[in-house]
Chain A
């Protein structure tokens, strides 16, 4: 590994949580404004995490500690692999490992809320992972490679041949960012019907770890979105900004679905859009 790669890794690891935290803060502010409230400061997410670090350690099962750390490391690794322009499929599997460990940690506690939340998280993963794979395969079909370094050499923005796949990615994004209508396992909003779902039994510093990991994941997913307009940095920034704004609006105007609705709706729409886009790739 040469010096340049080392610098990229260091930048990705250090800057991503800062970026993710600010995005989370902006998200809360805009959400509050949409609801006619003033909203917390932009840096509120950082205050939350620092406070959680200072809380007493209270765990039910020591496995939760391991699971929280693995989730963080996996989320960091996805961002690092993205920054190093590695393989999309590898990134995808690392992401899946992180998600599974979050679920294992929740299942390690006997609380019914945590258990139900973990089951719902598994269903969420079942819903978005096939779609994510379809998106990556479609990128391969267009550019001829899973390597991000090769994809970046592609001449036109991926958004043109893969417009429908971007909408499919949007569904996966909504689930992964825990936004309504797909925030069934746990929600950013304080109150939910299953308390805090998959995060119920994580508390104090371990909740802080998971929060930071979530920031990494946010950055990772926005990075994947930016890949769809890689030819122009300004275009990529506009695309990512508009996508996130759309997520916030959707979050505020939608009610939470049940898992059956989520699975049926996302799979039917996602597969249909994928089929149309795949056909378009071959016809073109």
Chain B
């Protein structure tokens, strides 16, 4: 009963944190446009929080380079499970036009696992909302896996990593 309530609520209340990995700010403006009265993603319970510890959804824009790679990893690690990642924009998906640059690592998926990709330069707010809804389906699946004791295994993995 409680598990069902919790799993149902996960999809209804995704709090997202937005990270800008050296984007040109085009995608960031489109992400923020989703919060305006026109699109109002709070209808779906989506809040744009500033704290990775409260977030369920990580929305990343821009190319990952050797500098902000660690920041991205750090923010991802700080988010409690279950969590999903959405890469927004051509740069976030693959590195975009900066792909072959000497200081660029590539898309977000080179560093952390990505659950949904939103292509475009810059993608429309509608496309971003579509991508987030796609990620929410993944979040529901992950939530079900959580009930099978994934937390306990995760704690073991974390301790193994820290003791290394």
Interface residues of A (CB under 8 A from B): 28, 32, 35-41, 44, 46-51, 53-58, 113, 190-192, 195-196, 200-201, 203-204, 207
Contact = CB atoms under 8 A, between A and B. Distances in A.
B70 to A, nearest CB: 18
B53 A39 contact: no
Contacts of B8: 47, 50
Contacts of B56: 51, 55
A46 B9 contact: yes
Residue of A51, A195, A200 with most partner-chain B CB within 10 A = A51
B20 interface: no
A34 to B, nearest CB: 11
8 contacts: A32-B40, A41-B12, A46-B9, A54-B6, A55-B82, A190-B49, A203-B51, A204-B80
Contacts of A201: 53
A51 B139 CA distance: 12
B5 to A, nearest CB: 5
Interface of B: 2-3, 5-10, 12-13, 15, 37, 40, 42-45, 47-51, 53-54, 56, 78, 80-82, 143, 146, 151, 154
A195 B17 CA distance: 11
Contact of A38 (B43, B48, B54, B154): B43
Contacts of A40: 42-45
A196 B51 contact: yes
B53 A58 contact: yes
A37 B80 contact: no
A196 B40 CA distance: 21
Contacts of B7: 54
A195 B51 contact: yes
Contacts of A28: 42
Contacts of B47: 190
Given A47-B9, A54-B7, A58-B80, A195 B50 contact: yes
Given A51-B10, A196-B51, 17 more contacts: A32-B40, A32-B42, A37-B43, A39-B42, A40-B43, A50-B6, A51-B9, A54-B7, A54-B82, A56-B80, A57-B151, A58-B78, A190-B47, A191-B48, A196-B50, A201-B53, A204-B53
| Those 9 A-B pairs whose CB atoms lie nearest each other, nearest first | A54-B6, A50-B9, A56-B80, A203-B53, A47-B12, A47-B13, A47-B9, A37-B40, A56-B81
B37 A36 contact: yes
Nearest to B48: A190
A48 B9 contact: yes
A210 B51 CA distance: 16
Contacts of A203: 51, 53-54, 80
Contacts of B81: 55-56
B5 A50 contact: yes
A39 B6 contact: no
Nearest to A201: B53
B84 to A, nearest CB: 13
Given A37-B37, A40-B45, A51-B56, A190 B13 contact: no
Contacts of B154: 56
